[in-house]
């Protein structure tokens, strides 16, 4: 991939994920968050369509080189297949692109969980942050106003003339529409090996201590000792993004820092250093490589990592310990994890400039208003 090709730095992201599994705990899964299919959120179709067009539009970045879809690609469950994300021209990102599957259900966003309010705030930061899309939203608004299709789509979606707030609202609505479906775990089509893996997941492997509920996450940060990705500090373009971020978040001695502090930026407490948000386990087949910094290439690598007791860290979660899984049990656990992936998201990308004013929802709106 061209390092400066279109791509929002992995967090709308960039919404980046901590570890793919938090194995090693012996406690049972939470009874008040039963496993099951992810429920689709109620959305407004016209606003979703507007948000989708915006999501694929590189005019939302400062130099028009990036769109949200540059790193959040539907055929990869809205990730990009890279260990570390690209970023705005002149820099590269220092974290892995997280999936946007079921993002509307999250309780906090970004790998460090620093935003825990709403998708509107996440969208704003992803568009305006210098190492993401580096867009002045006043300029973005003027660009939208100059597109006659946007003028009609905003009106059809009940947002009046194109505006910053309306754009963020529409993107948020589109993100809420991205829901997992068709996974063997949900349809009852799991293999015997996957079913055995589910029992391990809840029992011996202890994964369900943190990976709970329909999305298989507790939406909390944990330290599992993921090794650092040295490329963050050896590549000047990634390092400059890391330094910019650390300085903005008030991290001391950021120029000499050689590790990602994760959730430390939320409270500046040492016990939070190295903690990253528990990621969803939905759509794992499409979202490799894994961990917040892409250091584990395959699901087999992930299971081996936890079977060995995770990595080394001073404040590693005490529940992460060697599991003593047999080769057969490791295979069963991987088969279960694969059963959590469903249909590839059928959200066709398009060039906004190719859409004419006969776009279906615009035509419907015209018929209703004329």
With respect to residue 29, please indicate whether it lies within any of the assigned structural domains: no
Cis peptide preceding 289, ω within 30 of 0:
yes
Q: Between the CA atoms of 264, 266, 267 and 270, what dihedral angle is there, to the nearest 10 degrees?
A: -10
With respect to residue 221, please indicate whether it lies within any of the assigned structural domains: yes
Residue 38 has pLDDT above 80, yes or no: yes
Q: pTM score, two decimals?
A: 0.86
Residue 230 has pLDDT above 70, yes or no: yes
Rounded to the nearest integer, the mean pLDDT of the chain is 88
With respect to residue 30, please indicate whether it lies within any of the assigned structural domains: no
With respect to residue 156, please indicate whether it lies within any of the assigned structural domains: yes
| Coil, helix or strand at residue 42 | coil
Helices (H), 8-118: 45-55
Residue-level pLDDT at 334: 98
| Coil, helix or strand at residue 15 | coil
With respect to residue 277, please indicate whether it lies within any of the assigned structural domains: yes
Distance separating alpha carbons of residues 23 and 320, to the nearest angstrom: 6
Distance separating alpha carbons of residues 309 and 18, to the nearest angstrom: 16
Least confident of 3-17, 132-146, 252-266: 3-17
Residue-level pLDDT at 200: 98
Beta bridge partners of 86: 92
Structural Rg of the chain based on CA atoms: 21
110 sits in the region (left: phi over 0; alpha: psi -120 to 50; else beta) called left
pLDDT digits (tens, 9 = 90+) for 334-367: 999 999 999 878 655 555 555 444 444 544 544 5
Contact 56, 352 (CB under 8 A): yes
Residue-level pLDDT at 113: 94
Element (H, E) at 200: helix 192-202
The total number of structural domains that make up the chain:
1
Domain at 119, CATH number: 1.10.760.10
Contact 11, 270 (CB under 8 A): no
To the nearest whole percent, how much of the chain has pLDDT over 70? 84
**Two tokens at 186?**
């949900």
Residue 13 has pLDDT above 50, yes or no: no
Distance separating alpha carbons of residues 47 and 58, to the nearest angstrom: 19
Residue-level pLDDT at 153: 96
Work out whether the CA dihedral 243, 245, 248, 252 comes out positive or negative: negative
* Residue range 80-96: mean pLDDT, rounded: 96
With respect to residue 348, please indicate whether it lies within any of the assigned structural domains: no
Residue 8 has pLDDT above 70, yes or no: no
Which is it for strands 221-222 and 276-277: parallel, antiparallel or unpaired?
antiparallel
Measured from the Cβ of residue 294, the count of other Cβ atoms closer than 10 Å reads 24
* Residue range 13-18: mean pLDDT, rounded: 35
Structural domain that includes position 160: 45-342
Instruction: Identify the burial level of 136 via C-beta atoms within 10 angstroms of its C-beta, where 0-12 means exposed, 13-18 middle and 19 or more buried.
Output: exposed
Distance separating alpha carbons of residues 208 and 106, to the nearest angstrom: 17
Residue-level pLDDT at 26: 34
Please name which of 191, 186, 149, 195 lies closest in space to residue 52, comparing C-alpha atoms. Answer: 149
User: Which carries the bigger pLDDT value, residue 367 or residue 261?
Assistant: 261
* Residue range 120-124: mean pLDDT, rounded: 93
With respect to residue 319, please indicate whether it lies within any of the assigned structural domains: yes
With respect to residue 271, please indicate whether it lies within any of the assigned structural domains: yes
């Amino acid at each position: 991939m061209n390092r400066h090709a279109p791509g929002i730095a992995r967090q709308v992201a960039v919404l980046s994920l901590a570890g793919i599994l938090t194995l090693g705990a012996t406690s049972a899964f939470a009874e008040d968050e039963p496993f099951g299919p992810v429920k689709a959120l109620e959305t407004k179709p016209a606003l979703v369509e507007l948000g989708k067009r915006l999501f694929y539009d590189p005019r939302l970045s400062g130099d028009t080189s990036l769109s949200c879809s540059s790193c959040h690609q539907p055929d990869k469950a809205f990730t990009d297949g890279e260990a570390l994300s690209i970023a705005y021209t002149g820099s590269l990102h220092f974290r892995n692109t997280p999936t946007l599957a079921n993002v509307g259900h999250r309780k906090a966003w970004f790998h460090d969980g620093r935003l825990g309010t709403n998708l509107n705030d996440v969208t704003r930061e992803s568009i305006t942050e210098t190492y993401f899309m580096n867009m002045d939203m006043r300029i973005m608004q003027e660009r939208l106003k100059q597109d006659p299709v946007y003028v009609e789509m905003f009106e059809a979606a009940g947002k009046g003339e194109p505006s910053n707030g309306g754009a963020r609202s529409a993107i948020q609505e589109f993100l809420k529409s991205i829901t997992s479906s068709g996974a063997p775990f949900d349809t009852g089509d799991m293999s015997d090996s996957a079913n055995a893996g589910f029992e391990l997941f809840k029992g011996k492997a202890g994964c369900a201590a943190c990976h709970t509920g329909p999305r298989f996450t507790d939406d909390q940060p944990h330290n599992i000792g993921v090794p650092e990705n040295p490329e963050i500090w050896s590549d000047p373009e990634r390092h400059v993004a890391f330094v910019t971020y650390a300085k903005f978040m008030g991290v001391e001695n950021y120029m000499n820092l050689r590790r990602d502090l994760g959730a430390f930026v939320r409270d500046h407490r040492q016990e939070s250093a190295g903690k990253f948000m528990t990621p969803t386990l939905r759509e794992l087949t499409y979202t490799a490589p894994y961990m917040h910094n892409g250091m584990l290439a395959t699901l087999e690598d992930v299971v081996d990592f936890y079977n060995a007791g995770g990595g080394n860290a001073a404040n590693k979660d005490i529940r992460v310990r060697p599991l003593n899984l047999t080769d057969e049990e490791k295979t069963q656990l991987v088969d279960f994890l694969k059963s959590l992936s469903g249909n590839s998201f059928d959200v066709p990308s398009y060039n906004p400039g190719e859409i004419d004013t006969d776009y279906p929802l615009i035509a419907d709106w015209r018929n209703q208003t004329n």
